[in-house]
Amino acid sequence: MQTNRRNFIRLAGLAGAGLAGSNLMKSCTSETFQRTSGQGFNMCGYAAPELETVRIGFIGLGNRGPGAVERMSHIEGVEIKALCDLHPERIDVAKKRIENTSHEPESYSGGEEEWKKLCDREDIDLVYICTPWNMHAPMAVYAMNREKHVCVEVPAAVTIDECWELVETSERTRKHCMMLENCCYGFFELLTLNMARQGFFGDIIHGEGAYIHDLREMNFSNAYYQDMWRLKANQRKGNLYPTHGLGPIAQIMDINRGDRMDYMVSVSSDDFMMHKIAEERASTDDFYTPFAGKTYNGNMNTSTIRTIRGRTIMIQHDVTSPRPYSRIHLLSGTKGFASKYPGPPRISSGHEWVSEEEFKLIEEKYRPKIITRVGELAKEVGGHGGMDFIMDWRNIDCLRNGLALDQDVYDAALWSSIVPLSEWSVANRSNSIDVPDFTRGAWKNNQQVDISLEKGGTTRVLMQEDPVIA
């Protein structure tokens, strides 16, 4: 009876909120929401055949893309084969950033489906997707069906159906679908992951993450996001960008690898900012008239998740309030505690923070080998302080050495699913909603993410005499 009630509430809530017909969210039917059979090959821990050279095609060169192109040019065993964007001038900008290298990519532009031609090429191994959110899953699925591995920006999908499609396509094709969650490669995030692996925190009880970043000016810029796509996306109501805060916590808690998310609730404040900005701008500029009179996401969303093993995770989202940047990254265990924001990062094993001297000793003891291997070079190459480069280097090193990636398609689907799940909960007075098990039970036996570099770590970083830093 309870299960039937939950399914009815989900469907009724989606229809009542006007979401069922949305391009951004399809209704979660009982079939697509929680699937218990039909699993193909388990992609968790899957190591694809090694590639001596990883041939890459990039789709989307507006904001994140050009930096990714340049970062890849610093990694041994990479060949940048193709660049695609709707605007040819963006391709020119990306090519400029690698003009002193050996890479000579072909260009794809001038049509909305030019990206398919890139995916159809037989001389590409990896498709790297940096387009607006609603194109992530369709492009990733198409690329995997064309026998390409995929790296896709966050979130990897915006509907539950898309999450399942990513999973099923990756399993069927045995192609990696790695979501580019760069915050998993932050220096303190990697440190705390290794500390957790070594038992410093004891049993993890609770974790917190967030994406708190004032994006009002960028959201309303008519030149930053293509066709104002992010402002349009902010007309949804929920936790629209959860993965930066969630990803590192999920890895530390071994989610999908010994534990899984059970259910969640989500609550949003009203919007006190965005509709006023839209109306003010529309009063002096007709460009903003279509955005006036719209309703926007609440300024603060708080989502709380409970896991099967009884642990809790709190994730917040606020991109429209005048607040300092924060991803929180808080861990509470039976033996220790850590928090990154507000800085500096701090650690505790009792009632007080450890001293600066003790912190340095802990940092030295638990520093992951990946930081020792490429940390300083990553800072020099750049990309959010180096974590973008660590992520890219790690992915290429795994592909070249035939190793499993740190993030698999189940992580991409699960972390992304928080968007539509939170949207449903907000629309239904913050009632709880079950979280799909995209592993279909395999989480019980899947192994931890391995960051030890006991295997791999052989790929060199290529530094130019005068590199252009991202």
Query: Does the residue 120 lie in any domain?
Result: no
Give me the chain's average pLDDT, please.
91
Report residue 249's pLDDT band, with 50, 70 and 90 as the boundaries.
Answer: very high
Strands (E), 335-389: 337-339, 346-348
Report pLDDT for 154.
Answer: 98
Report pLDDT for 39.
Answer: 65
Query: Does the residue 267 lie in any domain?
Result: yes
Query: Does the residue 384 lie in any domain?
Result: no
pLDDT digits 0-9 by tens, 323-379: 999 999 999 999 999 999 999 999 999 889 999 999 999 999 999 999 999 999 999
> H/E element holding 265?
strand 261-268
Domain with 229, as residue range(s), is: 183-368+409-444
Report residue 452's pLDDT band, with 50, 70 and 90 as the boundaries.
Answer: confident
Query: Does the residue 452 lie in any domain?
Result: no
Query: Does the residue 420 lie in any domain?
Result: yes
Distance, CA of 254 to chain centre: 17
Residues whose CB is less than 8 angstroms from the CB of residue 275 and which lie 6 or more positions away in sequence, other chains included: 292, 293, 294, 295, 296
| Over residues 28-42, mean pLDDT | 59
pLDDT digits 0-9 by tens, 71-88: 999 999 999 999 999 999
Residues whose CB is less than 8 angstroms from the CB of residue 427 and which lie 6 or more positions away in sequence, other chains included: 13, 14, 16, 17, 19, 237
| Domains: count for the chain | 1
Report residue 27's pLDDT band, with 50, 70 and 90 as the boundaries.
Answer: very low
Query: Does the residue 254 lie in any domain?
Result: yes
Query: Does the residue 311 lie in any domain?
Result: yes
CATH number at residue 343: 3.30.360.10
Task: With a cut of 90, say whether residue 28 has pLDDT above it.
Answer: no
Do residues 413 and 170 lie in contact, with contact meaning Cβ atoms separated by under 8 Å?
A: no
Report pLDDT for 8.
Answer: 35
**Residue 151 neighbours by CB distance under 10 Å:** 27
Task: With a cut of 60, say whether residue 246 has pLDDT above it.
Answer: yes
Query: Does the residue 248 lie in any domain?
Result: yes
